[in-house]
Amino acid sequence: MEKYDVIIVGTGPAGMGAAFSLLDLKKDISILMIDKAPVSTGGMRNDCKMNFTYPIGFPFEYWDEATANRYLEKVKAFLKPDILPKSNIGIYQMRAEKLGCSLLEIQQTHLGTDGGLRLIQKLMTELQEKGVTISLREEMLSINNEQKFITTDMREIGYKTILIAPGRHGFHFLQDVMHQLDVGYMDNILDVGIRVETRIEHYPIVKDYYDPKFYFPEKVRTFCTNSGNAHVVKEKYVTERGDIWYSVNGHAYAADAARNNGLVNFAILKTVRFTQPLASGQEFAEHLGVMAALMGGGKPLMQRVGDFRLGKRSKVATFNNDLYDFEPSLKDCCPSDISLAMPSKILRYIWSGMKKLDTIIPGILHPSTIMYYPEIKLYANKPEYKDDRFQVVPSVFFAGDGAGTSRGITGAWASGIRASEGMAEYL
């Protein structure tokens, strides 16, 4: 059996952050990175908008401000971001505060989906040049930590220490691993909401602040704003039972005036935290997703704000009629009535957030604005960690979004560095 000092599962930002950090911390160690995809599949590959201000992307359970800032400095020093300029923030903040809302001022950079891919390719080449072995299209299936090897769809591989960083899509896989290792976990929080798409002139703040983070009462917030050459996309999920559902999402390509489609999209999400007796946020999310897919003939749903306000469903004609002045960027979506599919409490809070947003930046409730449903962000598992380096059992570490230690590219990278310090100590 082939053996490495370190195996890293997942080549997303958590895996990469750990790999680069280990190369600094320990000389002459053998590192293998595997990924089931041909290129890492998370946010670095999609939009690659990076936030460098606490608490964005850093779950409070694992990060206080001082710790996060210490690691953020390391992430910054490595990635050397070009922070985007902002203007008129004070005015928006004042308007928001009058309504009991807030606008966070975040240091951001945006590479776009194309720029993100170039970054991944550059980083992967750098890792290989530094001696890291990378195996793509190889999927980890199980772990045997007594005998220190994993089984993939190709072979068995031995390790001294391992980092498992499979991202949000690796949710079920990580739960399987935790069962194999007898690690306890919780999964009781999720974000549910819609993606809003409109013309840039109806949400002009994006000219002043690329991804404005508004916080509304009742745990509602705006999230992941994209503009310029911006598109709404759908992500496929499969439940344990094999049911297929989709969450919408959004991304934009790197700034290029010649290719702008004049649209902006962003999520507006409500955080839901469950207590007894419902333990699994994931299962709740799946039920919502499957319900929407049922109503949409296997597709996510979309509705114009004009129809929503009149209490009418949107129809195919609603998306062609010249009364409405732009076509949806996500074509493979079902015109519908989102209020039939969405829990009323969540919808009520989100609509209240949208009305406040329309007061702060008039325009967002233009009748042509499209609301896509569902957009669901799983908060991932909260494993029982043995230490503050995200070790779950001796020699096995988790990091990144799938393991609940981050909620974004920079947080994932930081959590990879933090885990790597524990791994270096273990070695």
Q: Which residues bind ligand FAD (CB under 6 A)?
A: 9-15, 34-37, 40-44, 46-51, 57, 139-140, 165-167, 170, 173, 235, 249, 251, 400-402, 406-409, 412
Nearer to ligand FAD, 251 or 356 (CB): 251
Nearer to ligand FAD, 289 or 335 (CB): 289
Cβ at position 167, least distance to ligand FAD in Å = 2
Cβ at position 391, least distance to ligand FAD in Å = 17
Cβ at position 416, least distance to ligand FAD in Å = 7
Nearer to ligand FAD, 244 or 278 (CB): 244
Nearer to ligand FAD, 49 or 299 (CB): 49
For residues 244 and 254, what is the distance between their CA atoms, to the nearest angstrom?
Answer: 31
Nearer to ligand FAD, 13 or 335 (CB): 13
Cβ at position 419, least distance to ligand FAD in Å = 11
Per-residue buried b or exposed e for 101-134, using 16+ beta carbons within 10 Å of the residue's own CB? bebbebbbbbbbbebbbebbeebbeebeeeebeb
Cβ at position 11, least distance to ligand FAD in Å = 5
Nearer to ligand FAD, 361 or 414 (CB): 414
Cβ at position 239, least distance to ligand FAD in Å = 17
Cβ at position 312, least distance to ligand FAD in Å = 31
Cβ at position 118, least distance to ligand FAD in Å = 15
Nearer to ligand FAD, 74 or 348 (CB): 74
- Location of structure tokens 């001022």: 105
Nearer to ligand FAD, 10 or 335 (CB): 10
Cβ at position 229, least distance to ligand FAD in Å = 14
Cβ at position 61, least distance to ligand FAD in Å = 16
List the structure tokens of 92: 């928006």
Nearer to ligand FAD, 79 or 165 (CB): 165
Cβ at position 4, least distance to ligand FAD in Å = 15
Nearer to ligand FAD, 127 or 360 (CB): 127
First-to-last alpha carbon distance for the chain, in angstroms, is 20
Half-sphere exposure of 71 (CA within 13 A, CB side): 30
Name residues whose C-beta falls within 8 Å of residue 408's C-beta, 6 or more positions apart in sequence: 43, 50, 51, 56, 57, 401
For residues 42 and 218, what is the distance between their CA atoms, to the nearest angstrom?
Answer: 28
The three state secondary structure string of the chain is CEEEEEEEECCCHHHHHHHHHHHHHCCCCCEEEEECCCCCCCCCCCCCEEECCCCCCCCCCCCCHHHHHHHHHHHHHHHCCCCCCCCCHHHHHHHHHHCCCEEECCCEEECHHHHHHHHHHHHHHHHHHCCCEEEECCCEEEEECCCCEEEECCCEEEEEEEEECCCHHHHHHHHHHHHHHCCCEEECEEEEEEEEEEEHHHCHHHHCCCCCEEEECCCEEEEEEEEECEEEEEEEEECCCCCEEEEEEEEECCCCHHHCCCEEEEEEEEEEECCCCCCEHHHHHHHHHHHHHHHCCCCCEEEEHHHHHHCCCCCHHHHCCCCCCCCCCCCCCEECCHHHCCCHHHHHHHHHHHHHHHHHCCCCCCCCCEEEEEEEEECCCEECCCCCCCEEECCEEECCHHHCCCCCHHHHHHHHHHHHHHHHHHC
